[in-house]
Amino acid sequence: MNGTIPHTAMVLAAGLGKRMRPVTDTLPKPLVRIAGKPLLDWGLDALARAGVPHAVVNTHYLGSQIAAHLSGRTHPSVAISDESDLLLDSAGGIVKALPLLGDEPFLVLNADTFWLDDDEPNLVALARQWDAGTMDILLLVADIARATGHSGGTDFLLDADGRLARSRGDPAGVIYAGAAIVHPRIFEGAPAGPHSLNRYFDTAIADGRLFGHRLRGNWITVGTPDAIPLAEAAVARAPAEAS
């Protein structure tokens, strides 16, 4: 599927949202609204716009609310991966959902970040860069200057060939924008319990197979209550743009 949009996406929506309290005392973080639209729908709408037909959404905290919200969704169609018994972290959630994701490379999206495209969908541009022969993981990355709501430093250094290395706080680095294309082969022999995607990022770096593609447009992350008005202001500045 080199250069073509994946057929399936994993949307990571199972987190506890502790930093978003008290907003998340009774509402799961993926259903927090930005400019009238739940965070989860910003991501799913981005998938629909890019032509991704199917998504898997994992749930844990107040998961029944998320399942009810998604029950009528058809573009993309949605399957729920229920983690109500045990929260599995980013990679553990993907490993549990692998039977639903299939054998081909798939997208991974965080449910608490989104972006405002400049022109073509960023996910389409990301897919165009995918090369299964040289890549195990391809991350969408953002410049800090185009980020709203981000309070930390950079995550990776992006070289001229698109390969990524850990930035270790280097201000010249880029931020992981919460979207990636992943080849399922990286999960062969993976443990079934909770563990993070960072393990796989580091393995791919060591193998020279972690790449990045720079996002066009504005990237928005919503991790705390005070990030909500910042996100809404960013959306208001670009009313004609959609995720």
Question: Does residue 183 belong to any structural domain of this protein?
Answer: yes
- pLDDT above 70 covers a percentage of the chain that reads 97
Question: Does residue 132 belong to any structural domain of this protein?
Answer: yes
Q: For residue 17, give every residue at least 6 positions away whose Cβ sits within 8 Å of its Cβ, in sequence order, or none.
A: 23, 24, 28, 29, 32, 61
Name the nearest CA neighbour of 214 among 131, 134, 135, 115: 115
Question: Does residue 1 belong to any structural domain of this protein?
Answer: no
Rounded to an integer, the average pLDDT of 102-119 is: 92
More confident residue, 10 or 238: 10
177: confidence class by pLDDT, cuts 50, 70, 90:
very high
CATH classification at residue 119: 3.90.550.10
Query: Position 131: which residue type?
Result: D
Question: Does residue 242 belong to any structural domain of this protein?
Answer: no
pLDDT at residue 2 tops 80: no
**Helix H segments across 120-226?**
122-129, 198-206
Question: Does residue 123 belong to any structural domain of this protein?
Answer: yes
More confident residue, 152 or 108: 108
More confident residue, 223 or 211: 211
Q: In what order do the strands lie in the sheet with 77-82?
A: 77-82, 54-59, 8-12, 106-110, 175-182, 137-142, 210-214
Structure pTM? 0.94
Question: Does residue 2 belong to any structural domain of this protein?
Answer: no
Q: 134 is in which domain, residue-wise?
A: 8-237
pLDDT at residue 143 tops 50: yes
Question: Does residue 3 belong to any structural domain of this protein?
Answer: no
- What DSSP string describes 78-96? EEEEE-TT---HHHHHHHH
pLDDT at residue 9 tops 90: yes
220: confidence class by pLDDT, cuts 50, 70, 90:
very high
1: confidence class by pLDDT, cuts 50, 70, 90:
low
Question: Does residue 66 belong to any structural domain of this protein?
Answer: yes
Q: For residue 57, give every residue at least 6 positions away whose Cβ sits within 8 Å of its Cβ, in sequence order, or none.
A: 11, 13, 40, 66, 70, 78, 79, 80, 81, 111
pLDDT at 243: 44
pLDDT at 49: 94
How many independent structural domains does the chain possess? Answer: 1
